Amino acid sequence: MSDSQGMLLKSVYRVKLKEISLGRAVSGARFAILIGLTLPVFWAPLSRLIRFSFQQAHYSHIILVPLVSAFLFFLERKRILSHAETQWRAGLGLLAAGALFYSLGQRHSASASENDQLSIAMSALVILWVGGFVLCYGFRALRMGLFPLLFLFLMVPIPDFVLNHAIVWLQTGSAEVSHATFDLVGVPVFRSGFTFSLPGFTIEIAEECSGIRSSLALLITSLLAAHLCLRSVWAKTVLILATLPLLIVKNGIRIVTLSLLSMYVDPGFLTGRLHHQGGVVFFLLALVLLASLLWLLQKPEGHTRMSRP
């Protein structure tokens, strides 16, 4: 190859790089404008959502979700945007679907709780954001960045009927684990539903004792760990599914530990700081178990996903 041909190829390559950079800049600006346009429209529900996340302990993670999603997108931006292309039809279709969903939700949510009203509004907002992403970057980029985009749905408050069923499931599971553990350690106990009569006192596994807050935090942690640290679908599935019984076990251990401390050390443990603020201790215990399982799942893969270029 002559020097002139080499210079020509380099020039063509530079032009293509500039075109790609310009295209990404235009798509990025277009996407930013679309996001900016949704903020005034959804300002009222977004403000209520921020206030709601401070009032409801099990929703304290919501305000962090967009930041985590943006960080994940930034971390994988080269792979996600490597084949970006504008797709007007699909993008506008999703934008229309989000707008329609929000409009219908506003008409029929007057009698709904604040939780369900915010659930509808935030679902519509995330659909609009995903639609804007597809319009600006296309389906291939959507497939590459599916996790960061789907992660945004964790902004959506869980509908009341789903949340209530989840709390009952956690209560029931915690009661079963607690009862089995009491039998295992030889503590006499009489159980009636969620109420346990122990020597000297009676405890009830109420909704507040279901561990819903720490359970959501642990589940989100397992989702992030699976995405960032594992490559195969089966390993990710195992880690996430293993988290479900762990949610119940750690809460059952917490209930039994507090009961035994109250029985044999000081009755004040039932009403003390460990009861009201000690959930983090048992959350960390569950986190250690989750990290151990993650380490075992990483071994067959040879190295973590984050170490890949």
Q: Is the pTM of this model over 0.85?
A: no
Q: What is the mean pLDDT of residues 141-148?
A: 91
Least confident stretch, 22-26, 152-156, 190-194, 215-219: 22-26
For 95-152, give the DSSP string.
HHHHHHHHHHHHHH-TTS-HHHHHHHHHHHHHHHHHHHHHHHHHHHHHHHTHHHHHHG
Res. 238 pLDDT band, cuts 50 70 90 = very high
- pLDDT score of 79: 87
Angular region, 186: left φ>0, alpha ψ -120 to 50, beta rest: left
How confident is the model over 26-79, as pLDDT tens digits? 677 888 888 899 999 899 999 999 998 888 878 888 999 999 999 999 998 888
Cα dihedral: 147, 150, 151, 155 (round 10): 170
Phi and psi, residue 302, nearest 5°: 90, -45
Q: What is the mean pLDDT of residues 106-128?
A: 88
SS3 199: coil
H or E stretch covering 191: strand 190-192
Q: How many residues does the chain have?
A: 309
How confident is the model over 273-304, as pLDDT tens digits? 655 566 677 888 889 999 999 999 988 876 54
Q: What is the mean pLDDT of residues 134-160?
A: 92
What is the distance between the alpha carbons of residues 191 and 112, in angstroms, rounded to a whole number?
36
Q: What is the mean pLDDT of residues 198-218?
A: 83
In the numeric block, which tokens belong to residue 258?
A: 């507090």
Is residue 163 pLDDT above 50, yes or no? yes
Cα dihedral: 128, 131, 136, 138 (round 10): 160
What is the distance between the alpha carbons of residues 287 and 220, in angstroms, rounded to a whole number?
12
Question: Residue 19: what residue type?
Answer: E
SS3 222: helix
